[in-house]
Amino acid sequence: MLARLQAAREEVEAAAARSGQVPATLLRRLAVLKLAVPITLILGSAMLWVTEQGYQRLERMYADLKTSRTFTRELNNLSFLAARVDATRAEYLLARGTDNLARHQGALREIVVTRERLVGSAESSLAVAEMETVLRYIEAERAELQRLEALQPGAPPQQVDAQLRPNPVADGTLREALGRLVAHERQRLDVAEEAAATEVRRQRWWSLLSIAFGVLLLILLFQTYRTELDEEQRMAQRLHEERDRLERAVRERTRELSELATHLQHLAEQEKARLARELHDELGAILTASKMDVGMLLRRQLEPKEAAVESLRRLQDTLERGVQLKRRVIEGLVPTTLRNLGLTAALEVLAEEVEAMSGLRIERQLPEDLECDGDRSIAVYRIVQEALTNVQKHARASRVQLAIEVREETLHLQLADDGVGITPAGMRKLKSHGLRGIKHRVDAFHGRFHIGAGPQGGTVLHVELPLKDVPEDEIDTSGDDGRGRPAMTAGVGTASRAA
């Protein structure tokens, strides 16, 4: 048996060591998952930088397009204003009116203002000669405006005519310069629009690639996480199965130990029975014969001396005490009442003896006909005997209630006292041999055992004992740690059949 226990211990330790190991593949997946986070951040930052650079290029292209359109619009406006100046000049020369002169001066002012906008919108890449031609034309018109504004109000037409001089830049030259500039700007617009379209397509592809890469990365991360989760679930399942296997192994080993202890206890009971038979058959016969001989001598009235008669009487008393000693020893080893009259009668006799010796008042609720096999009867008897012994030793009680009933093939036993009670520390004491013996007797028949404080003080002991053998697959392996549900609800004050 010791070898089997040692093997079971080694098996349990090996299983616990196996259950604590983590597969290397799971560790690698965890490492990949941890490494994927910084990789995702780096790639996301790179994608954001590339997208931002493309957006800035698009902004510069848009600004160039806007500038080119503004410059083209100003060139077209200058061409219109040049034609208007020629028209207002001709109108004045024909009508010689003050209003005509004012309209001519207004057209000149608009041309002068156009110079500032053209210079602000022009780019260094424009043709220098054409731009110089345009600027010379504007400067000439500006000089004419200054001359006209320098005249006194109401000046005669001759003085005004003297200030109207032909522009050094011919009309055809100006139109050619403006045409070339407009064509150049249109070419720039086409190039910028094509570059912008190319950049938009590039950004589109970058966005698609970024989204595709992000989705792929999310799929990989999700797959890794799912794989890790599946592995953890499988590991949890393996741990659960290993735990169940360990629990089954522990239950099996515990059952073997319980069977061993039960066997040893059965051997002890057999030894007690054998000793009781020897005392009854041999010592009882000797003492009975001696008593009969002494009684015969006294009845024959041999008229011995007074001293001899007194000695014979003392011998008779001694033999009587021997007979009583024999009876007490036999009853202590194997109660004859239990064997001959049954469990109920044996418990009645036990209660009467305890009352006579200790002064306790024991109230009993015992069934008239309680059928139990021999092993269960002696187990119940010993449980009650040990419980009453504990009450006498530790409880300092004055009243005890003993109740037994049978429900659904189960014997329910309750023993309650009105003493000082039992503390949790007292229930956990490892050297409480009496409680351990009771617990073992109950476990031997796969019953339930509970001891604790009563609702009105004192201590209450509950025992549930199956009257039939429990199949292996129906054994309750949950155990009972002393906090289980009470087996019966009867209290100390319940009406009972008094001793």
Per-domain boundaries in the chain: 24-225, 340-474
Residues 6 or more apart from 127 whose CB is under 8 A from it? Answer: 180, 181, 184
According to the model, what pLDDT value does residue 473 have?
57
**Which residue stretches of the chain have pLDDT < 70?**
1-37, 40, 120-127, 260, 263-264, 267, 278-279, 281-283, 285-286, 289, 293, 295-312, 314, 328, 331-334, 424-433, 471-499
pLDDT tens-digit map of 150-183 = 888 777 888 887 788 778 887 788 888 888 888 8
User: Is the whole-model pTM more than 0.75?
Assistant: no
According to the model, what pLDDT value does residue 331 have?
67
Cα gap 387→57, rounded to integer Å: 96
Residues 6 or more apart from 402 whose CB is under 8 A from it? Answer: 347, 351, 362, 363, 364, 365, 366, 384, 414, 415
Total residues belonging to the chain: 499
According to the model, what pLDDT value does residue 481 have?
42
According to the model, what pLDDT value does residue 463 have?
93
Coil, helix or strand at residue 312: helix
According to the model, what pLDDT value does residue 308 have?
63
According to the model, what pLDDT value does residue 140 have?
85
For residue 459, list its beta bridge partners: 453
Helix (H) or strand (E) holding 451: strand 448-453
Coil, helix or strand at residue 432: coil
Cα gap 441→447, rounded to integer Å: 9
According to the model, what pLDDT value does residue 490 have?
35
Q: Terminal CA-to-CA distance of the chain, rounded, Å?
A: 47
* C-alpha closest to that of 43 among 202, 216, 223: 216
Cα gap 361→423, rounded to integer Å: 24
Cα gap 188→186, rounded to integer Å: 5
The CATH architecture to which 340-474 belongs is 2-Layer Sandwich (3.30)
According to the model, what pLDDT value does residue 412 have?
93
Cα gap 354→304, rounded to integer Å: 43
Helix (H) or strand (E) holding 398: none
